[in-house]
Structure formats: C-alpha cells, structure tokens
C-alpha cells in the first residue's frame, strides 16, 4: 500500500512539474500522433503555421509561449472543449486567462494569414458592393465572382484562389453550402485536404437552420 501511494505521489509531482500538453518541443515533446489528434495538424504542419506568425504578433509570456497560444486555439476548434477543460489540459489557472489567450491567437492568425488579399482589391470589392446595396457582403466577392452569385448572395459554383508562403503553396476552394447546390458542394469538398465550416453568427440565423426543412 505504501509503495502504491508513493508511486501516485510521484505521478502527481510529475504532472505538476510539466503541463499535460507540451507543444514547445523542448523537454518531453509530444508524439506526432498526439499532435494530429489534438490539433488536426501534423507536427510539421503545426511548425509551419507557427513559423508564419512573427514574434511581434504573439508575445512570449510567463504564462504561455506563442506555440502554446496557437495550440490552445486549434484544440478548442477541433475538439470543442470548454474553457475550463482547456485550462486543465494546459495548466492555466482560470477561464479568464484562457479567453484572452484564445483571442490573442485568433487575432494573430487572422492578421498574419489573411493579408494576401491586398487593401486596394478589397476597396474595389467594397465600392462595387456598395453600388449594388451589398456593402456588408463585399468580402465574399473575393471568391463569388459571377454576377448571379453576387446578386443572390449565395455561392453557386466552386470558387478557387491561391497564395504561397516560403514553404507551402495553398489552394482555397470555396464550395457552396445551400441545399440547392449540394452536388457542387460535394465536388468542391472532395478535392480538399482540410475543411473550414463557416457558420453564421447573425442573431437567429444559426438557430433557424434547425427548423423543419432547414439545413443546419
């Protein structure tokens, strides 16, 4: 019995010394499998993503490193865990810190990875959308290129765009989500390696989709 208690004390001490999840690859790095299970990315893909975020975008603090910050967001998106569960996994003290961490990661990734569309092009889309009383939809015009899509405010055909980093070439496929265009959606989604599901945050839209005949 004493030996069992001693072993348990050793395990608890080890957990207290090291966070349950270690994305910094210094001491006791995680396995490639754990990287993929938790974030949906391989270790190499995770490293590539982190390399695209400059030090000025995410500060290294006593609480968390930039890699841990990015990992928190990816684990949250992939597994849908509560802030409290993330605090437990990453050894943070309270949920308020987790909220700030997730916000920092989201802001840094958006600023660093969406700058490939230049400001002048976005202004052009905004002006064109304003002329058709569609100003709030101007960002979708980057991939919804034909007049029917812009008029109906729905993606009908599969859109395609690309950008490059120093190490990777990315192709973005914009597939329709409306139930009338499911074959087009399947054709676009079948070509992708990674999917991003876009859900409306407008008041009532997400909930309405669960009604009879809807498609959420």
- What's the length of the chain? 216
CB atoms within 10 A of CB 75: 21
- What is the percent of the chain where pLDDT is above 70? 75
Residue 71 has pLDDT above 80, yes or no: yes
Angstrom CA distances, 7 to 2, 12, 15, stand at 9, 9, 13
Quote the strand ranges of 74-145, DSSP E.
Answer: none
Average pLDDT, the chain: 75
HSE, side-chain direction, 13 A CA sphere, residue 9: 6
Residue 79 has pLDDT above 60, yes or no: yes
Amino acid 121: pLDDT: 81
Domain boundaries, the chain: 2-113, 119-208
pLDDT tens per residue across span 127-174: 888 888 877 777 777 767 777 777 777 666 666 777 777 777 887 777
Average pLDDT over residues 57-83: 85
Which residue is listed with tokens 């839209």? 205
Q: What angle do CA 47, 93, 7 make, to 5 degrees?
A: 85
- The full DSSP string for 86-102 is HHHHHT-S-HHHHHHHH
Query: Between 3.40.50.720, 3.40.225.10, 3.40.50.300, 3.40.50.12280, what CATH number should domain 119-208 receive?
Result: 3.40.50.300
- 15 pLDDT band, cuts 50/70/90, is very low
């Amino acid at each position: 019995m004493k030996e069992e208690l001693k072993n348990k004390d050793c395990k608890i001490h080890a957990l207290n010394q090291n966070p349950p999840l270690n994305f910094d690859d210094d001491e006791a790095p995680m396995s490639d499998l754990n990287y993929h299970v938790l974030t949906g990315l391989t270790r190499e893909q995770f490293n590539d993503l982190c390399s695209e975020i400059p030090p000025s975008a995410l500060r290294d603090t006593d609480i968390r490193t930039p890699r841990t910050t990015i990992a928190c967001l990816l684990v949250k998106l992939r597994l849908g865990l509560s802030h409290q569960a993330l605090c437990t996994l990453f050894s943070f003290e309270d949920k308020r810190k987790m909220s700030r961490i997730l916000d920092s990661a989201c802001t840094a990734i958006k600023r660093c990875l969406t700058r490939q569309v230049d400001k002048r092009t976005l202004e052009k889309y905004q002006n064109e959308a304003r002329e058709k009383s569609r100003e709030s939809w101007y960002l979708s015009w980057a991939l919804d290129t034909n007049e029917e899509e812009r008029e109906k405010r729905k993606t009908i055909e599969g859109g395609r765009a690309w950008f490059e980093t120093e190490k990777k070439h990315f192709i973005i496929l914009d597939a329709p989500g409306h139930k009338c265009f499911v074959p087009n959606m399947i054709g676009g989604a079948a070509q992708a390696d990674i999917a991003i599901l876009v859900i409306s945050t407008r008041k009532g839209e997400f909930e309405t989709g669960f009604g009879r005949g809807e498609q959420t």
